Structure 1
Amino acid sequence: MTIRIPGFEYRSIPGSGGLPMNVAVAGSGSPIVLLHGFPQTHLMWRHVAADLARDHTVIVPDLRGYGASAKPDATDGSVYSKRTMAVDVIAIAHALGHDRFALAGHDRGALVAFRGGLDHPDAISHLACLDVLPTLDMWDVMRGATAAIGFHLYLMAQPPGLPEQLIAGASDAFFGHFLDAWTANPQAIPAGVRQVYLDASRAAITSITADYRASATVDIQHDTADRAAGTRLAMPVTVLQQDWGAALGFDAGALWRAWAPDLDHRTVSIGHFMPEEAPETVTAALRQLLTR
């Protein structure tokens, strides 16, 4: 099943190392790139992207390893590091003629956006991260029985072989679990869209697992080096986040402020899949960010 964002042109654009990336583009005006999360594709931004395209150039790729973008073999940890995935984004924007742009990400895409903001401050004018913590902080706060909520993080962090085999044995049940458990409004992901996500994820088990495995290895190394060096996000940053701290016992705003001096951190109760469950809230927050 194929569903596209109405009014968007679809292109194959080279990412890092010439990797073919599936990208939807529409609108005109100052550019903004939107990055999806797990277990989804660029389609999760369909409502927000259509609204923003009224007065912005909106660029919506599938991340490497997801959707219709290429899925290279994880010959080493760098292939699916957030650093490499951020270079994909820079390459896509440059190919479309944009040296500087705003960047928003959800879930896995927010981790790519975060890394992009640290690595490419001259290219990224504004940054938004939805319902995620920076990788290093995420691993720091996940502990004890409450960490069971993130069981998939530990599963996919294991060496190649067993995680992929287990997920392949019940892929729709595995990926569908998150679409169900993390959604406050099930109607926000219609049956057709849900099927697109399940089909795309089933075809990407190896690359999705490699993406998560990188977050337990090389991504931690990159974050640790930046924390030691005092590297911080130089651009205005907006974070929308559910109140994870209430369940896991930490102050999410404080964790983000350590990375982002110019921060608008908001605790919201709209479900994990924010761009689909509350597109008006997300669009308004992005428009406010772009005026800062």
Structure 2
Amino acid sequence: MAPAIAGFDHQHVPVADGVSLNAAVGGTGTPIVLLHGFPQTHLMWRHVAADLAADHTVICPDLRGYGASDKPAETDRTVYAKRTMAADIVALARVLGHERFALAGHDRGALVAFRAALDHPETITHLACLDVLPTLDMWAVMHGATAAVGFHLYLMAQPPDLPEQMIAAGPDAFFGHFLDVWSSDPQAIPADVRTAYLDACRNAVPSIVADYRASAGIDVDHDQADRDAGNQLRMPVTVLQQDWGAALGFDAAVLWSTWAPDLRHTTVACGHFMAEEAPGDITKALRDLLAR
């Protein structure tokens, strides 16, 4: 049996012309949407979502281009812009009956959540971003030998076809590399979940690359326009990160504070896949955020 979030139902929800998102939905109460990262699907939230569903409506979609959601062709640079992916999430919540909701994202999902909170401040009540920097800041601080940890960012930023062909030649090795080296607890992603992640990624190479390519282009433009305009996140914001260490040469809390006046920044003792490695800590942090 394929892994799933216990007690959740799955829906395929139209959110844009020709695009529907696969979403696991469970619980009752005030809504919170949880967005997954790379190289994962909505399954990464299985522990946190089941806990939050005790008193919240919890919506866990696969992002456009990932998992069982639709994967439109990258016909122009807006198709996988975080602005477009954020609009998907707002549309998804509205179809499910929620005009306002809290939003948490990990990794790629955090970038979508960040853009949704900037573009739709009247819709997003609370924001949590896990183990990521805003796109504009990420490119600004990556340099020298320490940037080697982000080699995939540079690879997938290249023009179409080359990165797609390289990754498609060995997709399990490529995506599996990140599942191995980014985790501090190999048991946090059991074999059936790992298989589900690799299967999903193997079938989504062009759209995953397009998502990353957007982050080296149009997403930077959108972030820069907001920074130039002095736009900030108006809602309570929680940022959780693993201990990146001083060697990276920047202070993540300071970078985030330029965007979020109402910020709580916390370091979590785990690897990158924190919702799977430290679900209790993440659930508590989200509950604390929702209480603000």
Pairwise same-fold verdict (TM > 0.5): yes
Please give the secondary structure, in 2, of the residue aligned with 1:22: strand
1:42 aligns with 2:42: yes
Query: Offset at 1:18?
Result: 4.9
- The answer to whether the 8 A contact 1:23-1:59 is kept is yes
Partners of 2:78 and 2:271 in 1: how far apart? 31
Query: Offset at 1:245?
Result: 5.1
Unmatched tracts of structure 1, length 5 or more: none
Identity of aligned residues (%): 72
The corresponding residue for 2:269 is 269
What is the CA deviation profile of residues 146-183 of structure 1, one whole-angstrom value per residue up to 9, with x for unaligned ones?
Answer: 10000000000000011011101111000000000000
The corresponding residue for 1:19 is 19
Partners of 2:98 and 2:261 in 1: how far apart? 25
The corresponding residue for 1:118 is 118
The corresponding residue for 1:170 is 170
The corresponding residue for 2:287 is 287
TM-score where L is the length of structure 2: 0.99
- The answer to whether the 8 A contact 1:16-1:84 is kept is no
* Code of the aligned partner of 1:155: L
The corresponding residue for 2:81 is 81
Aligned residues: 292
1:228 aligns with 2:222: no
- The answer to whether the 8 A contact 1:245-1:252 is kept is no
Please give the secondary structure, in 2, of the residue aligned with 1:80: coil
Query: Offset at 1:17?
Result: 2.9
Unmatched tracts of structure 2, length 5 or more: none
Query: Offset at 1:20?
Result: 1.1
Distance change (3 Å), C-alpha of 1:245 and 1:16? farther
Please give the secondary structure, in 1, of the residue aligned with 2:195: helix
* Code of the aligned partner of 1:63: L
What is the CA deviation profile of residues 255-292 of structure 1, one whole-angstrom value per residue up to 9, with x for unaligned ones?
Answer: 00000000000122211001100000000000000000
Partners of 2:38 and 2:197 in 1: how far apart? 9
The corresponding residue for 1:179 is 179
The corresponding residue for 1:94 is 94
For the aligned residue pairs, the C-alpha RMSD in angstroms reads 0.8
TM-score where L is the length of structure 1: 0.99
Partners of 1:175 and 1:18 in 2: how far apart? 27
Partners of 1:178 and 1:76 in 2: how far apart? 28
The corresponding residue for 1:140 is 140
The corresponding residue for 1:67 is 67
What is the CA deviation profile of residues 14-72 of structure 1, one whole-angstrom value per residue up to 9, with x for unaligned ones?
Answer: 12335111011011100000000000000000000000000000000000000000000
Query: Offset at 1:3?
Result: 2.0
Please give the secondary structure, in 2, of the residue aligned with 1:74: coil
Please give the secondary structure, in 1, of the residue aligned with 2:129: strand
What is the CA deviation profile of residues 101-141 of structure 1, one whole-angstrom value per residue up to 9, with x for unaligned ones?
Answer: 00000000000000000000000000000000000000000
* Code of the aligned partner of 1:99: E
1:231-270 equivalences under 5 Å are: 231-244=231-244, 246-270=246-270
Query: Offset at 1:77?
Result: 1.0
Partners of 2:287 and 2:231 in 1: how far apart? 26
Partners of 2:17 and 2:35 in 1: how far apart? 19
- The answer to whether the 8 A contact 1:13-1:22 is kept is yes
What is the CA deviation profile of residues 168-218 of structure 1, one whole-angstrom value per residue up to 9, with x for unaligned ones?
Answer: 111100000000000000100000100000000000000000000000000
Partners of 1:184 and 1:16 in 2: how far apart? 38
Please give the secondary structure, in 1, of the residue aligned with 2:12: strand
Please give the secondary structure, in 2, of the residue aligned with 1:12: strand
Please give the secondary structure, in 2, of the residue aligned with 1:79: coil
Partners of 1:197 and 1:282 in 2: how far apart? 21
The corresponding residue for 2:219 is 219
Partners of 1:77 and 1:158 in 2: how far apart? 13
Please give the secondary structure, in 2, of the residue aligned with 1:125: strand
